[in-house]
Amino acid sequence: MVKLAPSILSANFSNLLEDIKKVEDAGVDLLHIDVMDGHFVPNITIGPLVLNSIKGKTKIPFDVHLMIENPDKYIADFVKGGADIITVHIEACPHIHRTIQNIKSYGVKAAVALNPATPINSLECIFEDLDMILLMSVNPGFGGQKFISFVLEKIKQLRKIIDEKNLNIDIQVDGGIKIDNAAEVVRAGANILVAGSAIFNTDDIEETIRLFREKTSS
Q: Are 90 and 96 in contact (CB under 8 A)?
A: yes
Is residue 196 a known part of a binding site? yes
Is residue 180 a known part of a binding site? no
63 is catalytic: no
Contacts of 214 (CB under 8 A, 6+ apart): none
Distance separating alpha carbons of residues 3 and 152, to the nearest angstrom = 18
**Least distance from Zn ion to the Cβ atom of residue 169, Å:** 18
**Least distance from ligand DX5 to the Cβ atom of residue 128, Å:** 25
Distance separating alpha carbons of residues 143 and 130, to the nearest angstrom = 26
Distance separating alpha carbons of residues 125 and 116, to the nearest angstrom = 20
What does 115 bind: Zn ion, ligand DX5, none (CB cut-off 5 to 8 Å by kind)? none
Annotated catalytic residue within 34, 37, 63, 131: 34
170 is catalytic: no
**Least distance from ligand DX5 to the Cβ atom of residue 66, Å:** 10
Is residue 147 a known part of a binding site? no
Give contact residues for ligand DX5 (rule: CB under 6 A): 7, 9-10, 32, 34, 65, 138, 140-141, 143-145, 174-177, 194-198
* 3-class secondary structure, 191: coil
